[in-house]
């Protein structure tokens, strides 16, 4: 297997950590991009070392800032080499019914979850195309596929992630670069465990498989999409949601 350089945003969150671990287990060199205000790099690195992962390179920045993304990718390239696999995973929610949603809640979710794809992907896609190989994996959500009350901002951003990916997939299809989406359902991360227990129980009851997804199940999907054997798949959305919703 060829070792590739994988850059993962939101790397120190619930899904991001599992994505880093699964990509590392698959033999890739992983660069973990994190937000210095939201993530504790030293603590995370300690936890990773305790779990047997000693080789992560870290780069810090805000994915909603084009400048920060330029800097993070330059640092990643200097430390690990050209980025072959980009996982756009960083994301936030600012849930509120639309009638009460403030403009800053809209803007924060659109810039972090959607404009970040412009900011990060812009730094790597042309170089992947020049080298004739690349994998861009974007993390959307079931709620971007089906729409969710209280999440007009998040559903719009995540639906935008899917549209972006289909369009870029078409642009890069002949260049050896694939662009695909993972649309997770409810996954057992801090983001979901913070939901009130009674609401969470209703959510789980509504999932045909009657459980939350595991972060490592998202990591395994990234490993597949990053693999040689996934080279014929592009513009696709993998709905990984326990049967909650599919098209
Ligand atoms: N947990 C779920 O059930 C679920 C379901 C569907 C989709 N998702 C999506 O999966 C992705 C990961 O979510 P998670 O559950 O691991 O959440 P999480 O909160 O554990 O992790 C999100 C990470 O993104 C980082 N981040 C947030 N804003 C950032 C910014 N401006 N710049 C850089 N980094 C930033 C955070 O620091 C954090 O490490 C998100 O895109 C989320 O929308 C999660």
Alpha-carbon distance of 16 to 205, in angstroms, equals 26
Residue 194 has pLDDT above 90, yes or no: no
Domain that holds residue 125: 5-237
Catalytic residues: 154
| Torsion of the alpha carbons at 175, 221, 146 and 112, rounded to the nearest 10 | -70
**Mean pLDDT of the 21-50 span:** 98
**What burial class does residue 233 get, using C-beta atoms within 10 Å of its C-beta: 0-12 exposed, 13-18 middle, 19+ buried?**
middle
Cα of 91 vs centre of ligand 1, distance in Å, is 4
Is residue 113 in some structural domain? yes
- Ligand 1: atom nearest CA of 37 is 37
Q: Compute the distance from residue 174 Cα to the ligand 1 centre, in Å.
A: 31
In this prediction, residue 214 has a pLDDT band, given cuts at 50, 70 and 90, of very high
CATH number for 96: 3.40.50.720
Per-residue model confidence (pLDDT) at position 148: 96
CA-CA distance, 141 to 144, in Å (whole number)? Answer: 5
Closest ligand 1 atom to 17 CA: 16
Instruction: Please give the helix or strand (H or E) that residue 20 lies within, else none.
Output: helix 14-25
Helix or strand holding residue 166 (H, E) = helix 152-172
CA distance 183 to 145: 8
Q: Tell me: pLDDT of 232 over 80.
A: yes
Place of tokens 């972060």: 215
When pLDDT is cut at 50, 70 and 90, the band that residue 197 belongs to is very high
- Domain membership of residue 124 (yes or no) is yes
Give me ligand 1 centre to Cα 191, in Å. 8
Is ligand 1 within 6 A of the CB of residue 242?
Answer: no
- Count CB-CB contacts under 10 A for residue 2: 8
Domains held by the chain: number: 1
Give the lowest-confidence range in 150-164, 192-206, 208-222.
Answer: 192-206
Q: Ligand 1 test: best mutation among 11, 14, 20, most atoms within 8 Å of CB?
A: 14
Mean pLDDT of the chain: 97
Task: Kindly state the average pLDDT of the residues 25-42.
Answer: 98
Ligand 1 site, residue 29, Cβ cutoff 6 A: no
Label residue 190 by pLDDT band (50, 70, 90).
confident
- The reported pLDDT for the residue numbered 1 is 76
Q: Average the pLDDT over 85-111 and give the result.
A: 98
Which pTM value belongs to this model?
Answer: 0.98
| In a domain? residue 140 | yes
Contact 142, 208 (CB under 8 A): no
The rounded percent of the chain whose pLDDT value lies above 90 is 96
Between strands 177-184 and 237-240, the pairing is parallel
Ligand 1 site, residue 196, Cβ cutoff 6 A = no
Looking at the domain assignment, is residue 246 inside a domain?
Answer: no
- Ligand 1 pocket member 246 (CB < 6 A): no
pLDDT at 247 > cutoff 90: no
Residues 79-95 have a mean pLDDT of 98
Question: Is residue 18 in some structural domain?
Answer: yes
Q: What whole-number distance in Å separates Cα of residue 29 and Cα of residue 3? A: 7
Tokens of 68: 């920060």
């Amino acid at each position: 297997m060829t070792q590739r350089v994988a850059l993962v945003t939101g790397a120190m969150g619930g899904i991001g950590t599992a994505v880093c671990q699964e990509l590392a287990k698959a033999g890739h060199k992983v660069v973990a991009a994190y937000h210095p205000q939201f993530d504790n790099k030293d603590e995370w690195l300690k936890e990773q070392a305790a779990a047997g992962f000693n080789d992560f390179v870290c780069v810090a920045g805000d994915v909603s800032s084009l400048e920060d993304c330029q800097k993070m990718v330059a640092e990643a390239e200097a430390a690990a080499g050209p980025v072959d696999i980009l996982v756009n995973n960083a994301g936030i929610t600012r849930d509120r019914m639309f009638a009460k949603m403030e403009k800053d809640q809209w803007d924060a979710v659109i810039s972090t979850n959607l404009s970040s794809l412009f900011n990060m992907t812009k730094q790597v896609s042309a170089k992947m195309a020049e080298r004739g190989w690349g994998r861009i994996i974007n993390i959307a959500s079931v709620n971007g596929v089906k729409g969710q009350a209280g999440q007009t901002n998040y559903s719009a951003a995540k639906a935008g992630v899917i549209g972006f990916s289909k369009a870029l997939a078409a642009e890069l299809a002949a260049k050896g670069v694939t662009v695909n989406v993972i649309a997770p359902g409810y996954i057992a991360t801090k983001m979901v465990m913070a939901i009130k227990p009674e609401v969470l129980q209703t959510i789980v009851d509504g999932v045909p498989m009657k459980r939350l997804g595991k972060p490592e199940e998202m990591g395994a999907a990234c490993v597949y999409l990053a693999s040689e054997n996934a080279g014929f798949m592009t513009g696709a959305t993998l709905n990984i949601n326990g049967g909650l919703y599919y098209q």
